[in-house]
Amino acid sequence: MASVVNRYVIFVIVLAATVPNITCNSGAGKERPELVIAAAISLKDVFVDLGREFESLHNVKIIFNFAGSNSLQRQLENGAPADLFASASVAELDALVGQQLILPETRRTFAGNSVVLIGRAPPDGGDFGFDDLADQRISHIALGSGGVPVRIYCEEVLRELGLWNRLSGKYVFGNNARQVLQYVASGEAEAGLVYSTDAQSSPDVRVMQKADLSWHRPIVYPVAVVSDSHSPELSKDFIDFLLSASGRKTLLGHGFALPSEYRGP
């Protein structure tokens, strides 16, 4: 009888010792693969939402690097790690393709945008349009700094309207579209030119006038896999997700246009 009891105790001890190993091997403790995405700052809000959905679908961890597209281009040229690059214009991707830092066959255009003139939301801001920017009541006009895509598009608008040189003494420059937005939201500038999607992201500004699409080149957002990506297949899955019905619904919800509406050169 004693030997039977001893064998039973030994069995229980062995079983208890193996249970934790069974749990660990089930995959619950496994680290999720990571996907590093370098994206234009104007994509921040929509990409954060898209990232959450993609993470839940693929059990992956997404790490975002948001900045001006030209800044991200320089980072990638200097070896910064990334799996995907989403730019606010085609020029940055063209340059990286020429340096073989992007896989050109993975390149897709997934969204479009437009330019708007913004001012402070009431009660602080009065009504004005592009034709009023030369008025004395507007002493500061916020724009993106040189080389930032939003600056290129907005400068084209002002040149088309014959205002670029006339307003030269009023310009204050931000590193990217979000900083331009902040200048207007905080009252540091009475007016600013940004993407329409940026304008709708802040309750402290309002759209004064929309720029006609003929006043600037088409604003398109291309995306592609970085040549030295550690997760090229997962990166391609994210691009497919951007172009899916679910991805486009989220993009539209944040005010972006579908690619067919804004065709690049």
pLDDT at residue 28 above 70?
Answer: no
Q: What is the pLDDT of residue 16?
A: 40
Amino acid identity of residue 180, one-letter, is V
Q: Would you call 47 exposed, middle or buried from its count of C-beta atoms within 10 A (0-12, 13-18, 19+)?
A: buried
Domain ranges of the chain: 34-112+220-261, 115-210
Q: How far apart are CA 48 and CA 45, in angstroms?
A: 5
CATH 3.40.190.10 fits 115-210, yes or no: yes
DSSP character at residue 224: E
pLDDT at residue 17 above 80?
Answer: no
Sheet of 34-40: strand order equals 61-67, 34-40, 84-86, 219-225, 108-113
Confidence of residue 108 (pLDDT cuts 50, 70, 90): very high
153's tokens: 């598009």
Cα 33 to the center of its chain, rounded Å: 21
Q: What is the pLDDT of residue 191?
A: 97
Measured CA angle at 43 (ends 158, 215), to 5 deg: 20
CATH 3.40.980.10 fits 34-112+220-261, yes or no: no
Q: What is the pLDDT of residue 261?
A: 43
Q: How far apart are CA 221 and CA 44, in angstroms?
A: 13
Pairing state of beta strands 171-174 and 34-40? Answer: unpaired
